[in-house]
Amino acid sequence: MDPYATVTELNAYLDEPVDNPERMLNRASRRVRGALLSAIYDRTEPDTAAALRDATLELCAWWADNGMDGSEQDGGIGDPRAWTSVAAGPISLGGGRTGGAGGGQASATAAAAARAGLPEQSYLILQQAGLTGHGPRTGPPGWWC
């Protein structure tokens, strides 16, 4: 499938160009597509196409800001519910990604975004376009057409 954004759009969105923008856009589009696996949508509908493009660009920007290209196992997003305290023998780690500036638990949106493998801003774009929050749908073949 074609990526949800173009190299021209990516270059306009980012502060600095990235190496191999085509690959980054393909990876980001695949991740956005994966986050919407059970959603039914028409990618040619203008508002939907804009949300898919914007979420893809936001993901690319997040990767670029964090020195990544999307090849990382989890896209570099991680899980906001990750450790807040871990001890193994004499080694003790605290903190971790708690999802909020003041600490505490991750917001429901941040947790949903992490489960989808997206940064929160990408997920919010899709959520506000009505593309998330849908469980798998079942029915006879062709019922959704």
Contacts 24+ apart (CB under 8 A), 1-7: 1/29, 1/33, 2/29, 3/28, 3/29, 3/56, 4/28, 4/29, 4/32, 4/43, 4/49, 4/52, 4/53, 4/55, 4/56, 5/29, 5/53, 5/56, 5/57, 5/60
Alpha-carbon distances, residue 43 vs 33, 90, 97, 105 (angstroms): 11, 53, 33, 34
Whether residue 139 is predicted with pLDDT greater than 70 in this model: the reply is: no
Q: What is the pLDDT of residues 68-94, one digit of tens each?
A: 998 886 555 654 444 455 566 666 555
Closest among 139, 106, 122 to 36, alpha carbons compared: 122
From CA 88, how far away is CA 94, in angstroms rounded?
12
| pLDDT exceeds 90 at position 2 | yes
Taking a C-beta distance cutoff of 8 angstroms, is the pair 123, 113 a contact?
yes
Q: Is pLDDT at 142 greater than 90 in this prediction? A: no
pLDDT at residue 8, rounded to an integer: 97
Structure confidence at residue 133 (pLDDT): 79
